[in-house]
Structure 1
Amino acid sequence: MYARDLMITDVKTVSPDDEISDVFRLFARHSFSGFPVVDEADRVVGIVAESDLVDLFEPAEETLWIPIGLPPFVDTLTYQVKPPWADLDLGVDLVRNADRPVSDVMTADAATVGPDTGIDEILTLLSGDDPDINRLPVVDDDGTLVGLIARQDVIRAIRDERAAE
């Protein structure tokens, strides 16, 4: 089995210049958790996933450290404050980030495969150390998108192959 046997060819894509609000609409209308980001020539320049957008609204660190005092005593007089992040209105963050371009949040060095890539390499990428790889754009020699393989596509293909045996 090769990538060309596993991929779907009707792929929804976004542009690096699309606004984040447009991508939210796509996620709401389609049952995908990520989209390839392509340039004007349909060459893959990245991938944007739901998790990339969630990172806009979830602070990486919920603890604020506020220094109190004057140097050189700042380090010894630091207080921890834990604001109620869950109580913040995410709508404010959405408005603040809605017109940002996808290029600000996408993964620019997305893993891709060619149509002749074997299933072993595909399985290695999808089950490797990078848990964020859930889909693989399939590109031709010049990087033009020709298809997409999601984890469930591989699982279905293996299931169907076993059922046929």
Structure 2
Amino acid sequence: MESLKVSDYMNTHPVKLGEEMPVAEAVERLLQSGQTGGPVIDVKGKVVGFVSEQDCLQRMIESSYYREQVCRVKEVMTTPALTVKPYSSVLELAQMLLQARPRIYPVVDDDGVLVGTINRAAVLRAIDLQLRSGYQKMAS
């Protein structure tokens, strides 16, 4: 199997969330984008955390129950975020997905700046395409 790079299968237009953003606004962005989570970035574009739908759901339930004030993303984000590099192997990422909780990984350059995201579906797609390509070569 030839090498599969994360950069070939990543989402280059991920939802981006800010630390000071209200959780309700983060939820709106996630819902509009159809993504189940997103990286939290600082003013320089560096990934400082990650927020999932589950993180937001828990806080929104608590907020509605207790009638709390506005909650900020920095209060619910997971930090540090688990990230991968664009030149990382999709197969290595697949192994990480079997071990770790995140369904989405921010893809960062060597300076920690967000360049995209990759999720389980993209990893499955990459491996499936590779396997089908291998089967076609064997059938020829």
TM-score, length of structure 2 as denominator length: 0.84
Q: Which residue of 1 aligns with 2:138?
A: none
Q: Which runs of 4+ in 1 moved over 4 A?
A: none
Q: CA deviation at 1:46?
A: 0.5
Aligned length: 131
1:49-93 per-residue CA deviation (whole Å, 9 max, x = no partner) reads 0111222256xxxxxxxxxxxxxxxxxxxxxxxxxxxxxxx7733
Is it true that 1:112 corresponds to 2:67 in the alignment?
no
1:84-108 per-residue CA deviation (whole Å, 9 max, x = no partner) reads xxxxxx77338525x2110000001
Q: Which residue of 2 aligns with 1:28?
A: 31
Indicate the SS of the match to 1:47. strand
Matched letter for residue 97 of structure 2: L
Question: In structure 2, how many angstroms separate the alpha carbons of the residues matched to 1:96 and 1:56?
Answer: 10
Change (3 A) 1:94 1:15: farther
Q: Which residue of 1 aligns with 2:137?
A: none
Change (3 A) 1:5 1:100: same
Matched letter for residue 116 of structure 2: G
User: Gapped runs of 5+ residues in structure 2?
Assistant: 135-140
Change (3 A) 1:146 1:94: farther
1:101-148 per-residue CA deviation (whole Å, 9 max, x = no partner) reads 1000000111101111112321122111x3x21111111111000111
Q: Which residue of 2 aligns with 1:156?
A: 125
- Which protein has the larger Cα radius of gyration, Structure 1 or Structure 2? 1
1:20-66 per-residue CA deviation (whole Å, 9 max, x = no partner) reads 110121233221110110011110000000111222256xxxxxxxx
Indicate the SS of the match to 2:26. helix
Contact 1:20 1:100 (C-alpha < 8 Å) held by counterparts: yes
Matched letter for residue 145 of structure 1: L
Question: In structure 1, how many angstroms separate the alpha carbons of the residues matched to 2:11 and 2:84?
Answer: 13
Question: In structure 2, how many angstroms separate the alpha carbons of the residues matched to 1:108 and 1:91?
Answer: 22
Matched letter for residue 36 of structure 1: P
Contact 1:56 1:93 (C-alpha < 8 Å) held by counterparts: no
Q: Which residue of 2 aligns with 1:46?
A: 49
Q: Which residue of 2 aligns with 1:92?
A: 64
Of Structure 1 and Structure 2, the greater helix share is in 2
TM-score, length of structure 1 as denominator length: 0.72
